[in-house]
Copies of this chain bind each other. A is one copy, B any other.
Amino acid sequence: MTDRPRTARALARQTLTRDILDAARARLTDEGPTVLSLRAVARDVGMVSSAVYRYFPSRDALLTALIIECYDELGAAVEQADAACDRADRPGRWLAASRALRGWSVEHPGEFALLYGTPVPGYAAPRDTVGPATRVVRTLIQVVVDAHAGGARPPVAAPGAPDVTEVVAPARAFVADRGLADDAPTELVVRTLIAWTALFGTVSFELFGHLEGSVADGDGWFDAVAVRLGADLGLSAEAIDATPARSGR
């Protein structure tokens, strides 16, 4: 990935860049992304503020680097949690991936806010961020797709639910483009998107304090949510063990 530095100067540059990023992430944890002070970061690494501009052309560029790094870290955590499971244990993979998602977020609340909280006002995320940003949802989709390729019963649309095949067309294209599934049923795509949203919504509510008076134990609550969302996707132990060919209802 990163080249070995060939000169003392290049080495210094590399380590200082890392130091700046680390200091920025350290500050991120107790002060939000929007008020991240470049001057304070500079002080932390023993530099004057203007010197930081040798390494990042602007505060936005520093934010972009942080965002990419965090998306990648979160994505890697989720992917590794999934990879550590028995491939055939779909409910276990779903829960492990979900837990990894929350685990990283709870450990890095500042970084979570950077990724999933209020966007920084004047800041527009560049293209480079979308790839790393999709690693989590890609992993979740992979688990769901594997389960249904293995015979899990696909979810059935609620009676009276509006047809949204057109609405989720981009999502299906995303899935197809990455070779995850050639033709996923609409309802499966919909339920996966809902589950993905609900997982992050749960973490967001927990970290931002909206569950304060409602839920006693964030850990236990999240597990309960994740298991139910998985079950809605046909990812319960029962659904997987049942005869695969049984049609819905």
> Which A residues have a C-beta under 8 Å from some C-beta of B?
30-35, 91, 113, 116-122, 125, 130, 133-134, 137, 157-162, 164, 166-171, 174, 190-191, 193-194, 197-198, 200-202, 204-205, 208-210, 213-217, 220-221, 223-225, 227-232, 236-238
Contacts and interface: CB of A to CB of B under 8 A. Distances in A.
What is the total number of copies of this protein in its complex?
A: 2
A118 B160 contact: no
A198 B205 contact: no
A172 B238 CA distance: 29
Contact of A170 (B169, B216, B220): B216
A197 B201 contact: yes
| In the A-B complex, the 5 residue pairs with the closest CB atoms | A201-B201, A117-B118, A158-B231, A198-B198, A171-B214
B34 A118 contact: yes
Given A35-B121, A116-B208, A221-B168, A215 B237 contact: no
The DSSP consensus for interface residues of chain A is: helix
B160 A214 contact: no
A158 B158 CA distance: 17
A162 B205 CA distance: 21
B217 A159 contact: no
A93 B72 CA distance: 41
Contacts of A237: 159-160
Contacts of A158: 227-228, 230-232, 236, 238
Given A33-B118, A174-B214, 20 more contacts: A30-B121, A31-B121, A117-B117, A158-B228, A158-B232, A158-B236, A159-B231, A160-B227, A161-B227, A161-B228, A164-B224, A166-B216, A169-B216, A170-B213, A170-B215, A193-B215, A194-B198, A197-B225, A198-B198, A200-B201
A128 to B, nearest CB: 15
A119 to B, nearest CB: 6
Nearest to A237: B160
Contact of A162 (B169, B204, B223, B232): B223
26 contacts: A31-B122, A32-B118, A32-B119, A32-B121, A113-B118, A117-B208, A118-B118, A158-B231, A158-B236, A161-B224, A161-B231, A162-B223, A164-B220, A164-B221, A164-B224, A167-B217, A168-B221, A169-B216, A190-B228, A194-B198, A197-B198, A197-B205, A200-B205, A201-B202, A201-B205, A204-B204
